[in-house]
Structures are given as C-alpha cells and as structure tokens.
C-alpha cells in the first residue's frame, strides 16, 4: 500500500489541521485522540511517511525507529501514567480496524482497561 499524503495525520504534521499536542521532538508528534476511548488517549506518530507498523518496521532507518519508540516512552512518562499503567496499541490493516493510514500508536490509560480485546460476539 502506498502512502496517501492526504491522510489526516499527514495533514496534522503539515500544520493544515489542528491537534491538541502533548509532545513533539525530531522523530515524533503526540496529540490527544479526537474520540478518546479512555481518560488518557494519546496518539504518537512518526514524522516520516509510513502507512503502518509493518511499513515503519521494514523501511524506516534505525534512528527513526529508535527515536520513535523512545518518544512513546517519554510521552507515557510525561503523561504521568507509568505508575498506574497504560496500554500501547497499534492497528495494521483491515482486520485490525486501522482507520488512518499513517503509522501511529495509541497510548491508553487513566482507568482499569480490562482485558485486551472485547469478548467476541
Ligand atoms: P486507528 O483505528 O487508525 O488505529 O485509529 C485512528 C484514531 O485516530 C482513532 O482513534 C480516531 O479517533 C483518531 N482520529 C481520527 N481523525 C482524527 C483527527 O482529525 N484528530 C485526532 N486528534 N484524532 C483523530
């Protein structure tokens, strides 16, 4: 799948759409999810153009991968959620329900998050 430069996170990175920024460095931007699923729900995205985790892990330079995952840890630290705990989640592709085709991880926290997946219906 090729990268669609008109996806919403690409537009946020270019400053064309607003976001509630919580962290930014050379490698990553973190901002609040527009439709939070927990009291703390922050998205962390790399600054480069990667469709998903598979694309990022296969094609990003080592420094970008290290920089991104260090940023995820820093965001969790800055959000103050490391003591009580948090969940990091990344969706890839249709079965996962990935909606935005720019790689991102969700940081979820602020309440007991329960089992990892909802029971199958
Ligand atoms: P996915 O299902 O792709 O893993 O998650 C995409 C997430 O992006 C969803 O949780 C959705 O609420 C969030 N989202 C979609 N559009 C926007 C937007 O324009 N701004 C922000 N802050 N979040 C968005």
Is 121 inside any structural domain?
no
What integer pLDDT is reported at residue 121 of this predicted model? Answer: 67
- Whole-number Å distance, alpha carbon 120 to ligand 1 midpoint, is 23
Q: Can you give the residue range of the structural domain that contains 31?
A: 8-109
User: Is the distance from CB of 68 to CB of 90 less than 8 angstroms?
Assistant: no
Start-end of H helices in the chain: 8-13, 53-59, 62-79
Look up the CATH number of the domain holding residue 12.
Answer: 3.30.428.10
Is 114 inside any structural domain?
no
What integer pLDDT is reported at residue 116 of this predicted model? Answer: 85
The pair of structure tokens assigned to 3 is: 């990268």
The count of domains in the chain is: 1
- Whole-number Å distance, alpha carbon 52 to ligand 1 midpoint, is 14
Q: Return d(Cα 46, Cα 35) in angstroms, integer.
A: 20
Query: Ligand 1: residues whose CB is within 6 Å?
Result: 8, 17, 19, 31-35, 43, 91, 97-100
What integer pLDDT is reported at residue 120 of this predicted model? Answer: 75
Nearest-CA residue for atom 24 of ligand 1: 34
Is 115 inside any structural domain?
no
Query: How many degrees, rounded to 5, is the angle at CA 107 between CA 85 and CA 44?
Result: 145
Is 120 inside any structural domain?
no
Cα dist. 53→49, 109, 110, 118 in Å? Answer: 11, 21, 25, 22
Is 55 inside any structural domain?
yes
Digitized pLDDT (tens) for each residue of the chain, 121 residues in all: 799 999 999 999 999 999 999 999 999 999 999 999 999 999 999 999 999 999 999 999 999 999 999 999 999 999 999 999 999 999 999 999 999 999 999 999 999 999 988 777 6
What integer pLDDT is reported at residue 34 of this predicted model? Answer: 98
User: Is the distance from CB of 70 to CB of 109 less than 8 angstroms?
Assistant: no
DSSP conformation class of 115:
S
Is 104 inside any structural domain?
yes
- Whole-number Å distance, alpha carbon 100 to ligand 1 midpoint, is 7
Dihedral pair phi/psi, residue 51, rounded to 5°: -70, -40
pTM (2 d.p.) = 0.97
């Amino acid at each position: 799948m090729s990268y669609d430069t008109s996806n919403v996170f690409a537009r946020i990175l270019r400053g064309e759409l607003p976001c509630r920024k919580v962290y930014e460095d050379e490698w990553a931007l973190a901002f609040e999810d527009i439709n939070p699923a927990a009291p703390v729900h922050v998205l962390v995205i790399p600054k480069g153009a990667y469709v998903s985790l598979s694309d990022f892990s296969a094609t990003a330079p080592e420094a970008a991968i290290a920089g991104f995952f260090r940023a995820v840890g820093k965001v969790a630290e800055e959000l103050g959620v490391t003591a009580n705990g948090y969940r990091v989640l990344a969706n890839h592709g249709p079965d996962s329900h990935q909606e935005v085709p720019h790689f991102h991880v969700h940081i979820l926290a602020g309440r007991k998050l329960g089992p990892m997946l909802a029971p199958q219906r």
